[in-house]
Amino acid sequence: MKVGSIISLALVAFLGVLGLSAFFGSWYTVAETERVVLLTNGSFTSVQGPGLHFKVPFLQSIHSYPVTIQTTGNMDAQQGLNTYTVDNQEVDAWIQVFYKITPDNVEFVYKNVPDVDGKVYALTRDRFKREMGKYNTSEVAAKRGAIANDIRDILEQTAKQTLGVEIVDFQIQNLEFNQAFRDAVTAASVAKQQVVKAEQELAQAKVVAEQNKTQAEGQANAVKAKADGDAYARLAQATAEAKSIQLEGEAKAKAINAQAVALAGAGTQLIEYTKALNWKGELPQWVGAGPMPFMQVTPPTGQ
């Protein structure tokens, strides 16, 4: 084959490839989930929305941007993002931020933020470290959700102004403190458990003491009731005995009084009668010059 023929075939082939390239490079489609920046000789021309579009081959090119929610962070990193709390405790964090480019900001992002993902992560990392430096270690452990919300609010304001993106969410996926702090937390947890156990034992002891107190009070009340009953019985018996003695004394007094009245009425005759009634027939021994005392016997009248 002649050299001229070879050159002709090569030229035809080149023109064919060029024609195919021009044909397929003259149109493009944009999906609902993206927006396309149309460039003319490398300069920004317009932002194209969803649908079929045409461009000038070799003069115009396109750059696509997703407008759906994107995510960035260090979730796949073996080493967490290292930072410090306000009480100078070292902590490693794994964070994740969700963002999206709004269609209205595609031109701004193209012109000012060539590496969107990298810029969003850099901003997130900076704001995260700043906010973590405002909390002590105990607050970080107890308020992780609240801290994440605060960082998200700050990112929402800053990212839209500086990067032209909308922050959807921010999450602190994991936090790891140094070994010394973990040991201290473990020791504090053990101490707290011991305190809880001691409080439970104290509460149980109080219950037992209260039960014993109630039982002792019951027994004491029973003993007191029995003593009160015995004392009342003794008092009743003593009262009855005293009443009996009183009645007996009153009866004797009445009898004596009756005898006294009778004696007073009978006069000397009753006295002499009593003497005669008790005389055993023996004369009394008398020593003296006067007459021997004896009962007076009055002879019956007519003798």
Which among 191, 115, 124, 121 has a CA at the least distance from the CA of 151? 124
Instruction: Please give the Cα distance from 286 to 303 (Å, whole number).
Output: 29
The residues pairing with 101 across neighbouring beta strands, listed in sequence order, are 165
Question: Tell me: the pLDDT tens digits for 20-72?
Answer: 555 456 789 999 999 999 999 999 999 999 999 999 888 999 999 999 999 99
Question: Tell me: the pLDDT tens digits for 199-228?
Answer: 888 888 888 888 888 888 888 888 788 877
**86 has a pLDDT exceeding 80:** yes
| DSSP symbol at 285 | P
- How far is Cα of residue 258 from the mean position of the Cα atoms in its chain? 94
CATH architecture of 70-177: 2-Layer Sandwich (3.30)
Whole-prediction pTM: 0.56
- pLDDT of 5 reads 65
How far apart are the two ends of the chain, measured CA to CA in Å? 224
- pLDDT of 15 reads 57
Instruction: Please give the Cα distance from 113 to 161 (Å, whole number).
Output: 12
Confidence of residue 183 (pLDDT cuts 50, 70, 90): confident
Which whole-number Å values give the CA distances from 81 to 88, 122, 125, 173, 224, in the listed order?
15, 11, 8, 11, 77
Please state the domain extents for the chain. 3-64, 70-177, 195-242
